[in-house]
Amino acid sequence: MSENKFDEQIRKALEGYGVEPSGDVWTGIEASLSRRARWRVIRRVAGYASAAAACLVAGLLVFNNGTEADVPQISDQAVAVSVPEDVVSGDPVTVEIAEPVPVPAKQPVRKSPKSVSVPPIEEQINNLADAYASNSVPTEDAVAVSEPETPETSVPAPAVKEEKGEPVTASVDWNAIMAEDEENSASIFGTPILAISSNITSNSSTGGFSPDFGPGHSPSREGSKAAQGLPVPVEEPYYYLPLSLGVQLKLPVSRLLSFGVGVDYSYLVSRYASLVNGVLYNDTYSQLHYVGVPVGAYLNLLHGRRTDAYISVGGEVEKCVGSRYVYGTNVTKSSVPGLQFSVMAGLGVEYWMTPSIGCYLDPSLVYYFANAANPQPLSIRTAEPMQLRFEAGLRFRLRPQGHRHPAPGRRF
Amino acid sequence: MRDGSDKFLTEKELIEGCRKNDARAQRRLYELFAPTMLAVCIRYTGSRENAKDVLQEGFLTVFDKIGTYKGQGSFEGWMRRVFANQSLMYIRRNDALKYADEIESVPESGLGLDSDDPLGKLNAKELLDLISAMPAGFRSVFNLYVLEGYSHQEIAEALGITEGSSRSQLSRGRVWLQERIKKL
């Protein structure tokens, strides 16, 4: 018998032959699979947590250079502003303080690459008091009229440094951080993507405390706020880290191009000293709630197995759905007409941890347009229209890439 | 063992389910291929007990690496290669590939089997028992060449031996097996 024939007979004899394994084999396999599944979950959770922590830390390190400790601290004590009934616009108005307001021994000056000159704080108060007096004249009972012999003082403005009679120079660090939601898009052809995003927006450190409070906040606007009994800022605001959440659906139209649309919510908070009906409140909190609809186009630059890079451009229209001012024990709400428009452009990168779950990082430049017809409330957006935004989030492919319905085939 | 709910899964659906770590698909795949793959493992390892360990490790490897199967060639063939490799790893781990003495003791050419030899009368189980009883070196080369279709070059690379050694062991392995068959 030839070797080939012998081999062929051996193959034929063993073809299709099987030995039924004992039940403990599968039990062992099942136990190992269960252990592996637990590890997969642990690794996945650890991966998400690490990515989220890295994004958060990076965002805070990049944008939050200052701390609240740098913000001027002044007394919580309310100060009565004396406004004579016969006051003439432009005349100096004195402010009397029932009890001395402690002024910090060392007035903190926040670091900033750029300083902006602003008028003396007294002048601002005077102007605002004028506006207030022209609309609502307080009664004699409510107003403590200043006497010549009464030592005059000005409202302390710790953040303002005054030297040798020169105009007060406020060295301001616009380190306030704000957030808003907008979703950028990946360019995964043929796979709709749902994204959950959050972002941190930094000012670009190009601005400072501006007398007109930025676009949409002309003195007349603040004067009208005074007439409405709303807090009128009298110092540079401190902008808190905002909260922002959003979802967006991204629809790829080709391998290179995707379009996205979504909805997001932004919560902006700022704090400043303000005047309300002639009373100075040192800690006034402005809380703004915006809901917006972002739209965007995304051009894919690189498409790897797990990593993508893209250019994003888009815009957003937002509506302030709630405006709330908290000063002392008072809370005042107001409606805000008009819309906030913005445009953005940026670069993004995303990493798919699994075929259906990924995280992304989208730094971009955003410009917020002033609404001349309906000025928006004071926020970092109105103070500095051009901002660098640092957005991060998770993306979910609604249908995992490469998934196809199985074609009819052999059945077991 | 089978709940019947998944008996109509196609091979593609089964593979896709295993890729997604679907427990039912994994169980179904095991049920379908475990007997065949256990026979493969027995042929290589020489014992049922050892083969069970290899079978378990092999299926875990299959579930782990099933994403690398691109649909080219038969899936069963791909699985056999996985289990053959797993068996060879087991043999190497246990230092079983020592066959210098075995080569010395077995001639490269034997008498061969006559046309009316008893090979055709052997059933699969008896033949599997004979192959399992072969010395590890012979057994490995014989399995890889005769039953898996590897070339001597591939076997040499897989086992870390020369091609000449692979040929020699195959010939001696055939003689060893033919002699055992004749004695039955």
- Convert the pLDDT of each residue in B41-69 to its tens digit: 999 998 899 999 999 999 999 999 998 99
Spatial contact of A397 and A188, defined as CB atoms under 8 Å apart: yes
Contact A25 B55 (CB under 8 A): yes
The listed CATH number (1.10.1740.10, 1.10.20.10, 1.20.1050.10, 1.10.3720.10) that belongs to domain B11-93? 1.10.1740.10
- A406 — contact with chain B (CB < 8 Å)? yes
Residue A238 inside a domain? The answer is yes
Share of chain B above pLDDT 90, in %: 35
Q: Which residues of B touch A409 (CB under 8 A)?
A: 10-12
Tokens matching residue A336 = 């805000």
* Max CA separation in chain B (angstroms): 56
Measured between CB atoms, which of A19, A25, A409 is closest to B11? A409
Count of CA atoms in the C-beta half-sphere (13 A) of B128: 23
Number of domains in chain A: 1
- CA angle B44-B47-B53, nearest 5°? 80
- Is the Cβ of A407 closer than 8 Å to some Cβ of chain B? yes
From the list B36, B59, B122, which residue is nearest A18 (CB)?
B36
* CATH number of the structural domain spanning residue A56: 2.40.160.20
pLDDT > 60? residue A7: yes
* Preferred mutation among A3, A11, A14, A22 to probe B, highest tally of B CBs within 10 A: A14
Domain of A294, in residue numbers:
46-67+175-397
Question: pLDDT tens for residues A78-117?
Answer: 444 444 444 444 444 444 444 444 444 444 434 343 433 4
Q: Do domains B11-93 and B100-183 have the same CATH topology?
A: no
Q: What's the gap in Å between the CA of A48 and the closest CA on chain B? A: 19
Does the residue A370 lie in any domain?
Answer: yes
Distance CA A299, CA A83 (A): 60
**B-proximal residues of A, 20-39, CB under 8 Å:** 20-22, 24-26, 28-30, 32-33, 36-37
For chain B, give the number of residues. Answer: 184
Cβ of A25 and B56 within 8 Å? yes
Task: State the number of CA atoms in the 13 A half-sphere of A4 facing the CB.
Answer: 0
Domain assignment present for residue A87? The answer is no
Contact B38 A21 (CB under 8 A): yes
Which of A35-39, A52-56, B103-107 has the lowest average pLDDT?
A: B103-107
How far, in Å, CA of A231 to CA of A229, rounded?
7
What CA dihedral angle connects B23, B25, B27 and B28, to 10 degrees? 160
Task: Give residue B7's pLDDT band: very low, low, confident or very high (50, 70, 90).
Answer: low
Mutate to test the interface with A, among B13, B57, B139 (most CBs of A within 10 A): B13
Measured in angstroms, the CA of A353 and the nearest CA of chain B are apart by: 14
CATH class of B100-183: mainly alpha
Q: Which of B13, B127, B178 sits opposite A13 (nearest CB)?
A: B127
**Cα A302 to Cα A187: distance, rounded to the nearest angstrom:** 9
C-alpha A233/C-alpha A284 separation (Å) is 8
Arithmetic mean of pLDDT, A340-347: 93
Higher-pLDDT residue of A14 and B1 is: A14
Per-residue pLDDT at A339: 92
Distance from CA of B11 to the nearest CA of A (A): 6
